[in-house]
Amino acid sequence: MPKVKIGVFDSGVGALSVIQAIQKELPELKTIYKDDKTHVPYGTRTIQEIHGFVRPIFQEFIDEDCRVIVVACNTVTTNLIPQLRQEFAVPMVGMEPAIKPAAKATKSKVIAVCATPRTLSSQRYGWLKKEYAQDIKVLEPDCSDWALMIENNRVEHDRVAKTIEDVISQDADQIVLGCTHYHWIEALIKEVANGRAEVIQPTRPVIIQLKRVLQQLS
């Protein structure tokens, strides 16, 4: 019996951490991974540009008989997933900043969201804050060059550490990783936080949602 195919997309290397988690938990799936190294990073591009980049890639997933597409890119999910769902008749599992669990877990009532400028300016992100973090102070440090640093394997540890120290000094006790690229420096961020703040990223909820969607297909 052939394996069920799913597509996983991210602009660059970010989604590889998500794929590893999916393959560990759901080894019966055949995972097809596509990225867009030509145009990475997406976080500072216009929505129209990003849509033009991803549309042919998503069509490739359809042409290759993927039953589900995991959009392992916060920028694409928060800005374009409603439109992409209309354009392609295939279930999509998105990845977006984990505002809800961070707001629920914070004791200081201050959280930090590390994300791209395009994610932070999206309507979806604004809705997440309004819906789940009304009485929470949300810090949004400038992480605009992190994805490129990670993509080029030139992580400037001191700059990342300074950003994390800054949000912790402002009482953030939850740090949300709102870009899949940042999963690759999660260990560094946790080391800097040193128990003073919890680091949250959404791979686990994505796998849970993927399982739900696959059950509905079977």
The token pair at 40 is: 């990475």
- DSSP 8-state assignment for residue 133: -
Q: What angle do CA 156, 161, 164 make, to 5 degrees?
A: 135
Per the CB < 8 A criterion, the answer to whether 42 and 75 are in contact is yes
Give the model confidence (pLDDT) of 106-144 as tens digits.
999 999 999 999 999 999 999 999 999 999 999 999 999
Q: What is the pLDDT of residues 184-194, one digit of tens each?
A: 999 999 999 99
Return the active site residues: 73, 179
Domains of the chain: 5-96+203-217 (3.40.50.1860), 99-200 (3.40.50.1860)
DSSP three-state, residue 32? strand
The DSSP 8-state label assigned to residue 4 in this structure reads: P
pLDDT digits (tens, 9 = 90+) for 2-36: 789 999 999 988 888 899 999 999 999 999 999 99
DSSP run (H or E) holding 137: strand 137-139
Rounded average pLDDT over 62-71 = 97
Peptide bond into 2 cis (omega under 30): no
- The percentage of the chain sitting over the pLDDT mark of 90, rounded to a whole number, equals 95
Cβ atoms of 178 and 203 within 8 Å: the answer is no
Confidence of residue 201 (pLDDT cuts 50, 70, 90): very high
